[in-house]
Structure 1
Amino acid sequence: MSDIIHEDAWQQLKAFTHARIALGRTGTAVPLQEQLHFRMAHALARDAVHTPLQTHLLAEALAPLKLPLLQLHSQAGSREEYLQHPDMGRKLSLPSAALLQQHTTGTTDIALMVGDGLSAIAVQQHAPALLHTLVPLLRNQGFTLSPLAIIEQARVGISDETAYLLKARLALLLIGERPGLSAADSLGVYMTYNPRPGLTDEARNCISNIRPAGLPPAEAAHKIHYLVQQAFLRQLTGVQLKDNYPSAALPEK
């Protein structure tokens, strides 16, 4: 077997992406180093799915925002149940729904939520930085905010019921995205105007790949702020709300 590694013609493109391209070859096989990188990426993706959210550490990181925190849970009682029955992750447990009803005193503009999703690692690492930029922007704009809900075993659809019970005009959910072989720490943000149970994905806007190697959290916060303003101006989200955020408006670095 040849021990000479033949580089791929796309080698120079690797500088612009974390995707697994231009792997090269040794004979007819992928080089050993690339095989090991693949196995490591696969292990990181599995860890991202199964690692539990450290809610106490997340609460400590979010404490400077001075928002009341609500600890909620979906109907999935375990990680195994969450993965095997996706619908259970889209609905609040009965105790969590009752807790929300106790904390609802009137309408609010935005329901802020953080859910573990399929990568609690992404939430743990990137949600605090995003919210520390976003919350002051929203407050300065005059938006009223609900208590910050931390939801375990959550899927995107749970934001509709949560925001509805909080009597919010807009649902804003930060959630860990499904990990891939080039990114196990990708955070997504979903926003829905006039949230209520039964909505489907075309009613939402999504900003994905929020991480230092993708869309940095601080830049994502400004993009979200723009979309929130547009959602309230036009009173809608989803396929009718286009992301026309001007790149020239990004904050200077």
Structure 2
Amino acid sequence: MAHDHLIEMLDLDAEVLHEYHRDLIGWVGREAVDRPRVLDLGAGSGTGSLALARELPGSEITAVDLSPEMLAHLRSRADAAGLGERIRTIEADLDRPWPDFGPTDVIWAASSMHHMGDPGRALASAFGALRPGGLLVIAELDSFPHFLAGTPDEGVEERGHAEMAKRRAEAGLHMHENWGDRITQAGFKAVTERHIDIDLRPPLPAATARYAEVCLLRMRHGLDERLSSSDLAALNKVVAGLGDRDDLSVRTERTIWLARR
């Protein structure tokens, strides 16, 4: 899937699931020190960096990602929001030895830890980068968004998700890890875990149909050899007709861990 579609999907996730993001950022804001130096791992389109900069007055954010396209989009958003002076970007591969990011009070990793080739090494690097008493925040997806629950198209969406889960497993992504145990093994203390069930029903935010379209297009990408021709045709029909539907919902699960060095 093209980077521009992935960027759009991440931006739409923040817009449609704004209550979840607001509550998460507020929780971090209550736990962080004043004027913190924040490291955003796998910053993506910049949702976390911008929200943290707004929530934490005087904070300085270092946004790290492997994709120059993502970082260019993030810088553009930060400048447009008047936050460019407080958010710097660094292109880096976090599966390699980390550069010296400087003193760090908060490490934020939202939907990025499952991409690490060696999560244990990444958490050890995070432990070493934080000041004593510093805060680690990991937010991960337990399930990707479902939009067609309770509709005649629920079955094809479920089969698509099942095949995508197989693809992620084959690619070695670390989905459904016990991050609480891994965090403890890396030396962190005071680990707090929260599981969030998101179930949005009509009326939904105006951007929901486009969010569903981009997510289902991402699902559709690469499934030619994995779904039957009838399922592929049904999925194509669903995507083409999303703008005319009034039966969409948004169901997904997220888990958040907060821990201290």
Shared fold per TM-score greater than 0.5: no
Pair member with larger Rg: 1
TM-score under structure 2 length normalisation:
0.26
Give the number of the structure whose residues are more often strand, by fraction.
Answer: 2
Structure with more relative contact order (C-alpha pairs < 8 Å, separation 6 or more): 2
TM-score under structure 1 length normalisation:
0.26
